[in-house]
Amino acid sequence: MDLRDAIFNWIQITVVHKARPEDHAAKDTSEFFKQILIEDHKIEEIRYERDPFFYTITYRIEGKEDKITFGTGLVDKLLEDIENEPKYNL
């Protein structure tokens, strides 16, 4: 999995976990993708900010900081899909 895909997967499921802290599967999956970022891509630190249009993810590899952005609609889609599925909202 390339870095961009790994970050995207991590941010999507992290947003789900933040919105649904009781969702243990979301927590475990968020941690899984963070491990991929650490082990496969050598990310030392990662954080994100959200504005009305974008998620900006800031990360550091080998002491060098970089950023990547994704539209809020793309990132929030997984959460919206989960919340719109009745079997996940019992």
Domain coordinates in residue numbering, the chain: 3-88
Query: pLDDT by residue (tens digit) across 7-41?
Result: 999 999 999 999 999 999 999 999 999 999 999 99
Prediction pTM value: 0.92
Residue 81 has pLDDT above 80, yes or no: yes
Tokens 């992290």 correspond to 14
Q: Which tokens sit at 77? A: 């889609």
- Rounded to whole angstroms, how far apart are CA atoms 69 and 84? 25
Contacts of 90 (CB under 8 A, 6+ apart): none
Under DSSP, is residue 53 helix (H, G, I), strand (E, B) or coil?
coil
Residue recorded with tokens 């082990």: 39
Nearest to 69 by CA among 52, 81, 86: 52
- Residue type (1 letter), 26: A
pLDDT band at 87 (very low <50, low <70, confident <90, very high): confident
